[in-house]
Amino acid sequence: MQEKGTISIHTENIFPIIKKFLYSDNEIFLRELVSNAVDATQKIKRLSSLGQYEGELGDLRVEIAFNEEAKTITISDRGIGMTAEEIKKYINQIAFSGATEFVEKFKEAKDANELIGKFGLGFYSAFMVADKVEIQTLSYQDGAEPARWICDGSTEFEITEGSRTERGTDITLYINSESEEFLSKYKLQEILDKYCRFLPVPIKFGTKTESEPDGEDEEGKPKYKSVETDNIINNTSPIWTKAPADLKDEDYLAFYKELYPFSEDPLFWIHLNVDYPFNLTGVLYFPKVKNDFDLQRNKIKLFSRQVFITDEVKDIVPEFLMLLHGVIDSPDIPLNVSRSFLQADSNVKKINSYITKKVADKLSELFKKDRKEFEQKWQDIGIFVKYGMISEDKFYEKAKDYALLVNTKNELYTFNEYQEKVKSLQTDKNDQVVYLYSNDAAKQDAFIQSANNKGYDVLLLNSPIDSHFISHLEQKLEKTSLKRVDSDVVDKLIVKEDNPAHVLTEEQTTQVKGLFEKAISKPNMKVEVESLSPDELPVHVTMDEFMRRMKDMAQMGGGM
């Protein structure tokens, strides 16, 4: 059997274009070829289970091998294989007709990844790194003949009789001189770890040495021997593909460790599982955060049918949940996503609001189920909740029922509880309820004590996100304002009737006040002298609330 032909295409040669356009991301060739091998393997499994294939399935695995001297990389599978006719149909015709269009469209496009996805040029991404590509394949069909296809990157291809004796396909890439970096064990392992770690079919890449028990020595101590075993690089059934009912906490924790080996255990997780109106599975973890500066974005990995796509999940995951960790898998997100695609896609918008809702509901469930535990976790989840409340109204509406405010005595209140607690005590002349807060309990200790002595409560709002949270609460809470405990507002609050008598006389007060004013001599600082009890600090130096905010803003330089 021998057949030669010319691919009908308007442009002389599309490969220089493919190469040029995809160069920045050329490692995806391996993802594309391994995905094809996995697809072919899944197809033979399906045919077998449907009774349409009666032969032995054999050891279904995909194998990646490379030869540094020959400068080749080979991807082999035991999938359905292809007949010569199928090669012409699936490799030549479809891809090349797609490629023709690709060539025509590429002029306008800014994002080549988007094009590759659209035109199904997955197989052709091989030409980003190879001068020549060879297919050796044997179809599963009865009486099929092995076929070989070879193409040197020109528009000419050649199909001849092949040499494969077992069902399946080998794709051999003759790596070009610019891409020799891929002819390395470490480089290939790295790419496989990135894209293929959770593929559903075992992927073998070389061998590894393991130590195995080997009886006992003369003294009765256990002996070990080194054995070479296949290096299977992937976990074929990651937890997000399983039913939540079949999983224990340990499974979720173990998977977290698999994804982020050096992290502390997460606080809790959410198993996502929808099949309508879009398909999506995944597990999102709330990480334990030591402080706000530790926050790491882009820790969520996006998959499509267990193939890693990206950890740029912006648009799919709401902005405020970018701090979460975990995985999302949706076949409705194509392999080759691009920013412009994501923004335009209606599924992506639905996925985004679904995730927000799931997270809000999970938090509500935790709060209702065990308030005590929720309070213990608040220290860590508060940051996410506050960030969410600031950035998304829909989330605010749900979270306002369980978000907690913490006071300087370390008591925790819901918004409603807190309003009830302070409304009768802390009102100003304009009938506004005033929440006092401290952003530095150590520095403002004297002010906190003094406010407490007057019967006022002081909230502790001292994380970087709190300055934004405070302004947000002022907009959201009706007839309520938030004032820092060391501002001059405290004294303007309506004071309770049963005030204890002053310890200092009026004359003493004026004297002390004068002394302090002279010593400080700053026009925007105010000196108050008043002592309600002997153990209270009698002198307060305050700054006008407005001036204080201006100063804070200048220091922050605005923005987060």
Contact by Cβ (8 Å): 481, 519: no
Is residue 333 a contact residue for ligand ADP (CB under 6 A)? no
Q: Residue 497 and residue 25: Cα distance in Å, rounded?
A: 73
Of 95, 99, 307, 399, which one interacts with ligand ADP (CB under 6 A)?
95
Is residue 202 a contact residue for Mg ion (CB under 5 A)? no
Contact by Cβ (8 Å): 432, 480: yes
Q: Is 26 annotated as a binding residue?
A: no
Crossing angle of helices 466-476 and 371-391, in 10° steps, is: 80
Q: Is 32 annotated as a binding residue?
A: yes
Joined tokens for residue 174:
């003759």
Of 27, 32, 63, 488, which one interacts with ligand ADP (CB under 6 A)?
32
Chain positions 403 to 422 lying near ligand ADP, rule: CB under 6 A, are none
Cis peptide leading into 238, omega within 30 of 0? no
Of 42, 92, 97, 120, which one interacts with ligand ADP (CB under 6 A)?
120
Q: Residue 285 and residue 266: Cα distance in Å, rounded?
A: 6
Q: Residue 35 and residue 241: Cα distance in Å, rounded?
A: 17
- Which H/E stretch holds residue 389? helix 371-391
Is residue 90 a contact residue for ligand ADP (CB under 6 A)? yes
Nearer to ligand ADP, 79 or 282 (CB): 79
Rounded alpha-carbon distances, angstroms, from residue 350 to 315, 317, 391, 438:
10, 10, 18, 40
Chain positions 144 to 173 lying near ligand ADP, rule: CB under 6 A, are 169
The CB density around residue 519, as the number of other CB atoms within 10 Å, is 9
Nearest 5°: the CA angle 440, 445, 446 is 135
Nearer to ligand ADP, 36 or 509 (CB): 36
Is residue 79 a contact residue for Mg ion (CB under 5 A)? no
Least separation, in Å, of the C-beta of 81 and Mg ion?
Answer: 15
- Bridge pairing between strands 299-304 and 325-329: parallel
Question: DSSP secondary structure string, 338-384?
Answer: -HHHHHH-HHHHHHHHHHHHHHHHHHHHHHHH-HHHHHHHHHHHHHH
* Amino acid at site 347: N
Chain positions 38 to 67 lying near ligand ADP, rule: CB under 6 A, are 40
Least separation, in Å, of the C-beta of 5 and ligand ADP?
Answer: 17
* Amino acid at site 404: L
Of 22, 30, 37, 381, which one interacts with ligand ADP (CB under 6 A)?
37
Q: Is 371 annotated as a binding residue?
A: no
Joined tokens for residue 467:
């300055």
Q: Residue 488 and residue 498: Cα distance in Å, rounded?
A: 22
Is residue 356 a contact residue for Mg ion (CB under 5 A)? no
Is residue 41 a contact residue for Mg ion (CB under 5 A)? no
Least separation, in Å, of the C-beta of 309 and Mg ion?
Answer: 13
Q: Is 322 annotated as a binding residue?
A: no
* Residue 91 binds which entry of Mg ion, ligand ADP, none, CB below 5-8 Å type-dependent: ligand ADP
Cis peptide leading into 222, omega within 30 of 0? no
Nearer to ligand ADP, 36 or 542 (CB): 36
Q: How many residues of this chain bind ligand ADP (CB under 6 A)? A: 16
Nearer to ligand ADP, 71 or 164 (CB): 164
Question: DSSP secondary structure string, 68-116?
Answer: TTTTEEEEEE-S----HHHIIIIIIIIHHHHHHHHHHHHTT-S-HHHHH
Q: Residue 149 and residue 134: Cα distance in Å, rounded?
A: 6
Nearer to ligand ADP, 305 or 386 (CB): 305
Q: Which stretch binds ligand ADP (CB under 6 A): 64-72, 116-124, 262-270, 477-485?
A: 116-124
Joined tokens for residue 354:
């679904």
Q: Which stretch binds Mg ion (CB under 5 A): 57-65, 118-126, 421-429, 535-543?
A: 118-126
* Residue 169 binds which entry of ligand ADP, Mg ion, none, CB below 5-8 Å type-dependent: ligand ADP
Q: Residue 171 and residue 427: Cα distance in Å, rounded?
A: 77
Cα 274 to the center of its chain, rounded Å = 18
Nearer to ligand ADP, 132 or 421 (CB): 132
Is residue 115 a contact residue for ligand ADP (CB under 6 A)? no
Least separation, in Å, of the C-beta of 121 and ligand ADP?
Answer: 6
- Please give the residue whose beta carbon sits closest to ligand ADP in the complex: 122
Chain positions 119 to 158 lying near Mg ion, rule: CB under 5 A, are 122
Is residue 134 a contact residue for ligand ADP (CB under 6 A)? no
Is residue 36 a contact residue for Mg ion (CB under 5 A)? yes
Of 14, 73, 84, 91, which one interacts with ligand ADP (CB under 6 A)?
91
Of the candidates 203, 200, 207, the one whose C-alpha atom is nearest the C-alpha of residue 242 is 200
The helices-and-strands tally (H runs, E runs) of the chain is 16, 21
Nearer to ligand ADP, 135 or 529 (CB): 135
Q: Is 82 annotated as a binding residue?
A: yes
Residue 501 DSSP code = P
* Residue 278 binds which entry of Mg ion, ligand ADP, none, CB below 5-8 Å type-dependent: none
Q: Is 98 annotated as a binding residue?
A: yes
Q: Which stretch binds ligand ADP (CB under 6 A): 73-81, 193-201, 312-320, 404-412?
A: 73-81
* Residue 461 binds which entry of ligand ADP, Mg ion, none, CB below 5-8 Å type-dependent: none
Rounded alpha-carbon distances, angstroms, from residue 110 to 22, 106, 271, 341, 479:
11, 8, 36, 12, 51
Least separation, in Å, of the C-beta of 377 and Mg ion?
Answer: 43
The CB density around residue 166, as the number of other CB atoms within 10 Å, is 11
Q: Is 169 annotated as a binding residue?
A: yes
- Footprint of Mg ion (CB under 5 A): 36, 122
* Binding-site sequence positions: 32, 36, 77, 82, 97-98, 169, 339
Binding residues for ATP: 32, 36, 77, 82, 97-98, 169, 339
Residues that bind ligand ADP (CB under 6 A): 32, 36-37, 40, 77, 79-80, 82, 90-91, 95, 120-123, 169
